[in-house]
Amino acid sequence: MYAEFSDNLVTGNEMIDSQHKELIEKINGLERSCETNAELSVAVKMLNYLADYTDFHFSEEEKLQEEIEYPGMEEHKKQHQEFKQAIEELHEMLEEQEGPTKEFSEQLNKRVTEWLYRHIQGFDRSVAEYRNMRSNSELI
């Protein structure tokens, strides 16, 4: 199942939102390799793109949280670690199963896509709101 960036994923922070769109593109690149029964090497390449972009995106988000002195930063970082761990486990699964199986696609959907939706709607939205609140109070 392909992931989709819909309105309920908007946090209101332009940088975060545009990076989430890119992240979803990367997830779909990997999903495409499942749907088309691609070779292991192709799927691994897609998974690596996703892993690299995830690292970039999480570090950008964490930098923003430091800048605004976001109080929930530690808990948020733990969530990011959990996601990275899921990606590593997917990598192992891909190698073990010698390619993107149906089971792999299900795990991708559950541990990456659905996780990301929940994370964005809770954790990331809360960072964006905190940032808005701070910049509004600085204007007063």
What residue ranges bind Fe ion (CB under 5 A)? 61, 124
For residue 17, count other CB atoms closer than 10 A to its CB: 17
For residue 98, CA distances in Å to 37, 69, 104 come to 11, 44, 11
Distance in Å, CB of 91 to Fe ion, minimum = 21
Nearer to Fe ion, 71 or 106 (CB): 71
Distance in Å, CB of 93 to Fe ion, minimum = 24
Cα 25 from Cα 86, distance rounded (Å): 18
Nearer to Fe ion, 34 or 50 (CB): 50
Distance in Å, CB of 39 to Fe ion, minimum = 32
Cα 134 from Cα 111, distance rounded (Å): 33
Cα 33 from Cα 18, distance rounded (Å): 23
Nearer to Fe ion, 44 or 128 (CB): 128
Cα 72 from Cα 126, distance rounded (Å): 9
Distance in Å, CB of 63 to Fe ion, minimum = 12
Nearer to Fe ion, 31 or 61 (CB): 61
For residue 61, CA distances in Å to 22, 27, 66 come to 14, 18, 9
